[in-house]
Chains A and B, each alone.
Chain A
Amino acid sequence: MSHQDELPVNRAILAVRDLEKSFDGVCALHGVSLELRAGEVHAIVGENGAGKSTLTKIITGAIQADAGSIEVRGHSIERNDPNVSRALGIAAIYQQPALFPHLTVAENIALPMEMGSSRQTVNWKSRNRRATSLVESFGATIDPRRLAGTLSMADQQIVEIAKAVGADAKILLMDEPTAVLTEREVERVFALIRRLKADGTGILYISHRLEEILAIADRITVLRDGHRVACRNAAEVGRSELIEMMVGRSIASVYPKRPVPIGNVALEVRGLSNEREGLRDISFAVRAGEIFGLTGMVGAGRTTLARTLFGLAPAPSDVFLAGRPHRIHSPADAMRFGIGYVPEDRRRNGVILEMEVAGNISLANLKSVSRRGLVSARSERELAVRYVERLRIKTPSIATAAGKLSGGNQQKVALARWLATRPRVLILDEPTQGVDVGSKAEIHELIVDLAERGMAILLISSELPEILGMCDRIGVFNAGRLAGILASSEATQPRIMSLALGHG
């Protein structure tokens, strides 16, 4: 009777069996099997390095498995490559939309369809028509003549999905598709995923955000160290159980927050405005030892506040540090006054990927490792070794390029750089974004540890469980204003959401 019953839901449209893959003798996948049914969202979870990306690359044909088989709709694929997989209706959607920013929406959707045909010319009218009808069938309105680069991230992701559907993809691989979206945008993409499900598309969904996975997935496959540890119905597993399966050990409490003695006010702002950046009338105070959470939609002002406090977007207002007014004009000012800032998007703003770990750590502390204006290699090395040990950064050596480390360890390098400046106030912007579960727990532990030593911490995060689990108080942004400040005892996800959406 329901729409679902008409579909062959139990037939696997994609089946991989006993996949094996090694890189230079290191085993990345060990006998992994997985089935994707029509109309199913099948999530793959695992820590970084568990084999998720190797698995998806084998399915899209970017790399070849050493052993094992891939079947699409019952037909075994002899030799997979990107063209073969595309022809079989497999499409991949990545974290960052891989669109042509300078080309129109219509062209972005049309190009993959046209690549297969032998026609050498393009018909703009039919391109625009097809793009419009596809996008409209998703319930979205996007002008097909707009340049893709001018769309919002969510619209770009929707165009990305339209592109795949237009090219007749029946098997969609989504790798962290919501990583750059706000919560409201995520809902739009989820609505689209549900629609695709109803049409019988099978979706392999990879994400670090377990809440999302539990909300959208039908089944969940857990990978660990290249092995499949479990395949479960999403309705039958909980968050903590998933984490345990992923890390292979039980994490006693997911958030290690401990009560610590709260000291004097370390940082206070009164009626801070930054008109040019859309920040209005912000007042709050953070005390030593306190973790103050800042949340709200992306673009609501959280990062702008951080940039204002750190002098990257200076505002004509005073900031009170330990009770004394200061005007912060530049990052150099902020650092002099004892403020440290670990920005979001570590690959772009945080670590310098080509530079070695030691250089990255000493970068904000060159004065302290220099003698008579010359950097002392020995002090630099000592500083790096000290922080690599203290933060348990997993790196072959302090001379390794930071770009070679895993995401979690890169984040720790960025943290180490700012810890070494011994700030009294530390601003952390999305410190655990795109970091695997194990490193995430370690970073949380470290934050708590810093608070315990009397640092005042501003923690910016979009992840509500993290905000709720880590912070003493929570400031919620809405449209450039601080819509409310909640004590952790009175904060709940619904209350934060309603404040963030302006219903507070």
Chain B
Amino acid sequence: MRIFEETIRLARTWSREIGVAATIVLLYAVLFFGGRTYFSAENFGDLFLANLPVLIVSLGMLLIILTGQIDISVGSQFAVCSVIAGVAAKAGMPVALAGLAACAAGALFGAIGGGLVAFLRIPSIVVTLAMMIALRDGLRWSTQGAWIENLPPGFQWLSLTQSRFTTAMAVLAVALVAATAAGLRYLKAGRAVLATGSSEAAARITGIRTDRVVFSVFALTGALTGLAAALNAMRFHQIPSNAGLGLEMKVIAAVVVGGAAITGGSGTVIGAVLGVILLGSVGTALTFLGVSAYWEQAIQGAIILAAVAINLAGRRRE
């Protein structure tokens, strides 16, 4: 009886995540009966690498959304960081250092945006809209639209084989996800993030420096964006100067589909990861099912609307 009640309680607590997971299972069931070719290691590897940037950045975006803020400049940050990683590598830096440079640049962008939001109290949508435009057009001006080519050997795939690289990235992704989840749950700093988003006034009364919390999550997200950009650049032998177009929307959509409240305070890492998997699978799934790829965005939009509607209905009931 107690176990039964406990199960119900857990199911209720995790209802949003369970809903997204069930949708994913359903999608893959359809795929399984629709076309077996989808289920190949190679296909999954490609799918994973293509969505890795979304996954990494969504961990940071989850933190930002949990504090009740938003960052729509991550796509532009991503483009700049990609180019920085490439330029650094071409300048003769070791690949690890080039990656670190991209992270540092991202952290700097995040810190600038976060600083304006946290300390000058400018709404985050305004600050990051400005950052989004300024970084994107600044990059276009400085590169004149040229791509970075002739990257040094050892940059692509980190001089690993593609499958080894994929495995390494999988390990990294799992570690990042676990670290974020554990940090949110067991670190005082993680609890401060949730507290700030749940009620900023109460957090301040409790002695939490909410401005520092907000600043930190923006800077951390910037660093994660830099990391994602560097790792993504390593998949190709040239780096486009317009990388990450629309990344911010994919990331925000994944976090929201994963059940996070856009108003802050509520949301989980598992949910965000499931959101990335669901939205990331839809596109290729359509191709395999023989549906025109033009439907992808429309279906993603429908998923987002459905997720938000279900979340709202659930919250009303509470």
Chain A residues with CB under 8 A of B187: 120-122
Which B residues from 173 to 216 make CB contacts under 8 A with A? 185-189, 191, 194-195, 197-199, 201-203, 205-208
Which one of A101, A114, A145 lies within 8 Å of B198 (CB-CB)? A101
Cα separation A99 to B198 with both chains bound (whole Å): 9
The answer on a CB contact under 8 Å between A111 and B191 is: yes
In this complex, what residue of B is CB-closest to A167?
Answer: B206
In this complex, what residue of A is CB-closest to B199?
Answer: A100
Which A residues from 108 to 145 make CB contacts under 8 A with B? 111-112, 114-116, 119-122, 124, 145
Chain B: minimal CB distance from A72 (Å): 18
Cα separation A426 to B83 with both chains bound (whole Å): 68
**In the assembled complex, A239 has its CB within 8 A of some CB on chain B:** no
The answer on a CB contact under 8 Å between B207 and A107 is: no
The answer on a CB contact under 8 Å between A111 and B265 is: no
Chain B: minimal CB distance from A94 (Å): 9
**In the assembled complex, A86 has its CB within 8 A of some CB on chain B:** yes
Residue of A83, A86, A99, A100 contacting most chain B CB atoms (<10 Å):
A100
Residue of A82, A98, A111, A145 contacting most chain B CB atoms (<10 Å):
A111
**In the assembled complex, B51 has its CB within 8 A of some CB on chain A:** no
In this complex, what residue of B is CB-closest to A149?
Answer: B318
**In the assembled complex, A150 has its CB within 8 A of some CB on chain B:** yes
Known: A101-B265, A102-B266. A112 touches B206 (CB 8 A): yes
The answer on a CB contact under 8 Å between A98 and B205 is: yes
Cα separation A100 to B202 with both chains bound (whole Å): 7
- Map CB proximity to A onto B256-287 as digits: 1 under 8 Å, 0 otherwise: 00000100011000000000000000000000
The answer on a CB contact under 8 Å between A99 and B188 is: no
The answer on a CB contact under 8 Å between A102 and B194 is: yes
Cα separation A98 to B189 with both chains bound (whole Å): 20
Which one of B186, B189, B205 lies within 8 Å of A82 (CB-CB)? B205
- Map CB proximity to A onto B202-246 as digits: 1 under 8 Å, 0 otherwise: 110111100000000000000000000000000000000000000
**In the assembled complex, A251 has its CB within 8 A of some CB on chain B:** no
**In the assembled complex, A285 has its CB within 8 A of some CB on chain B:** no
Cα separation A101 to B196 with both chains bound (whole Å): 11
**In the assembled complex, A7 has its CB within 8 A of some CB on chain B:** no
The answer on a CB contact under 8 Å between A122 and B191 is: yes
**In the assembled complex, A103 has its CB within 8 A of some CB on chain B:** yes
Chain A: minimal CB distance from B100 (Å): 25
The answer on a CB contact under 8 Å between B207 and A112 is: yes
Cα separation A112 to B203 with both chains bound (whole Å): 9
Which one of A115, A121, A122, A147 lies within 8 Å of B206 (CB-CB)? A115
Cα separation A145 to B6 with both chains bound (whole Å): 12
Cα separation A99 to B206 with both chains bound (whole Å): 10
Number of interface residues of A (CB under 8 A): 25
Which one of A100, A114, A120, A121 lies within 8 Å of B203 (CB-CB)? A100
The answer on a CB contact under 8 Å between A102 and B191 is: no
Chain A residues with CB under 8 A of B208: 111, 115
Cα separation A283 to B318 with both chains bound (whole Å): 33
The answer on a CB contact under 8 Å between A119 and B318 is: no
In this complex, what residue of A is CB-closest to B191?
Answer: A122
Known: A107-B191, A121-B186. A102 touches B207 (CB 8 A): no
The answer on a CB contact under 8 Å between A100 and B207 is: no
Chain B residues with CB under 8 A of A120: 187-189
The answer on a CB contact under 8 Å between A100 and B198 is: yes
The answer on a CB contact under 8 Å between A116 and B186 is: no
Chain B residues with CB under 8 A of A102: 194, 197-198, 261, 265-266
The answer on a CB contact under 8 Å between B195 and A111 is: yes
Chain B residues with CB under 8 A of A121: 186-188
The answer on a CB contact under 8 Å between B207 and A119 is: no
Chain B: minimal CB distance from A414 (Å): 25
Chain A residues with CB under 8 A of B198: 100-103
Which one of A82, A101, A119, A145 lies within 8 Å of B199 (CB-CB)? A101
Chain A: minimal CB distance from B112 (Å): 27
The answer on a CB contact under 8 Å between B318 and A98 is: no
Residue of B189, B206, B266, B318 contacting most chain A CB atoms (<10 Å):
B206
Cα separation A107 to B185 with both chains bound (whole Å): 11
Chain A: minimal CB distance from B65 (Å): 12
Known: A121-B187, A122-B186. A83 touches B194 (CB 8 A): no
The answer on a CB contact under 8 Å between B207 and A103 is: no
Chain B: minimal CB distance from A58 (Å): 16
Chain B residues with CB under 8 A of A145: 9
Which A residues from 136 to 163 make CB contacts under 8 A with B? 145, 147, 149-150
Which one of B9, B185, B186, B265 lies within 8 Å of A100 (CB-CB)? B265
Cα separation A82 to B208 with both chains bound (whole Å): 11
Cα separation A98 to B200 with both chains bound (whole Å): 10
Chain A: minimal CB distance from B204 (Å): 8
Known: A112-B207, A115-B206. A100 touches B188 (CB 8 A): no
Cα separation A99 to B186 with both chains bound (whole Å): 20
Cα separation A39 to B188 with both chains bound (whole Å): 34
Cα separation A86 to B266 with both chains bound (whole Å): 28
Chain B: minimal CB distance from A177 (Å): 15
In this complex, what residue of B is CB-closest to A118?
Answer: B188
In this complex, what residue of B is CB-closest to A87?
Answer: B207
Cα separation A286 to B219 with both chains bound (whole Å): 64
Chain B: minimal CB distance from A96 (Å): 10
The answer on a CB contact under 8 Å between B207 and A116 is: yes
Chain A residues with CB under 8 A of B199: 98-101
Chain A: minimal CB distance from B6 (Å): 10
Known: A100-B265, A103-B195. A119 touches B188 (CB 8 A): yes
In this complex, what residue of B is CB-closest to A60?
Answer: B205
The answer on a CB contact under 8 Å between A83 and B207 is: yes
Which A residues from 304 to 329 make CB contacts under 8 A with B? none
Chain A residues with CB under 8 A of B203: 100
Chain A residues with CB under 8 A of B194: 100, 102-103
In this complex, what residue of B is CB-closest to A148?
Answer: B198
Cα separation A99 to B202 with both chains bound (whole Å): 6
The answer on a CB contact under 8 Å between B318 and A100 is: no
Cα separation A470 to B186 with both chains bound (whole Å): 56
Chain B residues with CB under 8 A of A107: 191
Which one of B9, B188, B205 lies within 8 Å of A114 (CB-CB)? B188
Chain A: minimal CB distance from B117 (Å): 21
Cα separation A101 to B318 with both chains bound (whole Å): 11
The answer on a CB contact under 8 Å between A115 and B207 is: yes
- Map CB proximity to B onto A75-113 as digits: 1 under 8 Å, 0 otherwise: 000000011001000001000001111110001000110
Chain B: minimal CB distance from A147 (Å): 8
Chain B: minimal CB distance from A162 (Å): 14
Known: A98-B199, A100-B202, A111-B195. A82 touches B207 (CB 8 A): yes
In this complex, what residue of A is CB-closest to B202?
Answer: A98
Chain A: minimal CB distance from B281 (Å): 29
In this complex, what residue of B is CB-closest to A99?
Answer: B202
Which one of B189, B201, B206 lies within 8 Å of A111 (CB-CB)? B206
A-B contact pairs, 6 of them (CB 8 A): A98-B205, A100-B202, A101-B199, A114-B188, A115-B207, A120-B189
Binding site for B on A (CB under 8 A): 82-83, 86, 92, 98-103, 107, 111-112, 114-116, 119-122, 124, 145, 147, 149-150
List 6 A-B pairs, minimum CB-CB distance, nearest first: A102-B265, A100-B198, A115-B207, A102-B198, A98-B202, A102-B266
Can you add 19 more A-B contacts, CB < 8 Å, to A82-B205, A98-B199, A122-B188? A98-B202, A98-B205, A100-B195, A100-B199, A100-B203, A100-B265, A102-B197, A102-B265, A102-B266, A112-B206, A114-B188, A115-B206, A115-B208, A120-B188, A121-B187, A121-B188, A122-B191, A147-B318, A149-B318
